[in-house]
Amino acid sequence: MKYFFEEWEKLREALSDKFIFLFLDYDGTLTPLVDNPQDADLSLESRELLRRLKDNSRCKIAITSGRKLEDLKKRVGLEGVLYVGNHGLEIEGTKINFKSPLSLHYLKTLQEIKKDLGTNIISAVRGAFIEDKGLALTLHYRLVDKKDIPRLKDLFRQAMIAYMAKDKICLKDAKMAFEIRPPVRWDKGKVAIWLLARQHFMLQEKINIIPLYIGDDVTDEDAFKALKNKGITVRVDGGAGSSAKYFVKDTSEVFRLLEEIGKVLA
């Protein structure tokens, strides 16, 4: 991985006459990570910057998050942006309204699991909490004491094994969290490729589109891989072993990067 700003001069050239499709993760990318997901608010400056970018005719923005769609929309609060919630299970924006078809059976299983985790983990490991996102669950453990994390992981595996064996769910690692998702092959990478193809179709190939994906999470790695030879991928905080081509150090550098993109588009 290379430091983004070291390559910026070269990249700027490459972007100068292109249509830029920005894919932006929310937590840890547009907002600094906080202990409680409820407290992750978008700053005024960031919202204004995103507004300027999305109003540009050579730019499209998709906010891709593990959050519930409604929650994400409320937090970003901009129209004309594509919202990708629940890692792609829900997508909404101009001329698009997608919800992954999930069986009632799955949704029932999810509620069973929520109850199960409540009894076996939440009450047994201090600091662990569940976020119910409707179509998926997240078990957060960033507030759990370090020494209790191995025990939490053991308990979690034990609780999940029966569901896994029956292919009822799919588990994904996230940053200090576990994702319990439907057993479908649909992730941030596949979503990015799909949205990109859709944009190509809408622009009728009159202009070259370059996707620029910025994220900080394990779940963003699917997108880094999918976009490997198609565009610019940037990992925030440069996690070791990332498939992204570039990294920036923190969310303030994401802001700086987006400001530079604004200048290219001006």
Residues of this chain that interact with Mg ion (CB under 5 A) are 25, 27-28, 216-217
User: 34 vs 207, which CB is nearer to Mg ion?
Assistant: 34
| Contact of 27 with 131, CB cutoff 8 Å | no
Dihedral of CA 194/199/205/208: which sign? negative
Closest separation in Å from C-beta 63 to Mg ion? 11
Closest separation in Å from C-beta 94 to Mg ion? 24
User: 29 vs 109, which CB is nearer to Mg ion?
Assistant: 29
Length of the chain, please? Answer: 266
Residue 67 forms beta bridges with which residues? none
Tokens of 129: 């909490």
Closest separation in Å from C-beta 27 to Mg ion? 4
Residues 143 and 110: their CA atoms lie apart, in Å, by 23
Residue 140, helix vs strand vs coil: strand
User: 90 vs 216, which CB is nearer to Mg ion?
Assistant: 216
Neighbour count for residue 6 (Cβ, 10 Å): 9
Closest separation in Å from C-beta 157 to Mg ion? 24
Closest separation in Å from C-beta 190 to Mg ion? 18
User: 163 vs 220, which CB is nearer to Mg ion?
Assistant: 220
Closest separation in Å from C-beta 239 to Mg ion? 11
User: 179 vs 216, which CB is nearer to Mg ion?
Assistant: 216
User: 27 vs 221, which CB is nearer to Mg ion?
Assistant: 27
| Contact of 20 with 213, CB cutoff 8 Å | no
Helices marked H in the chain — which ranges? 4-15, 44-54, 69-76, 104-117, 149-165, 188-203, 221-226, 251-265
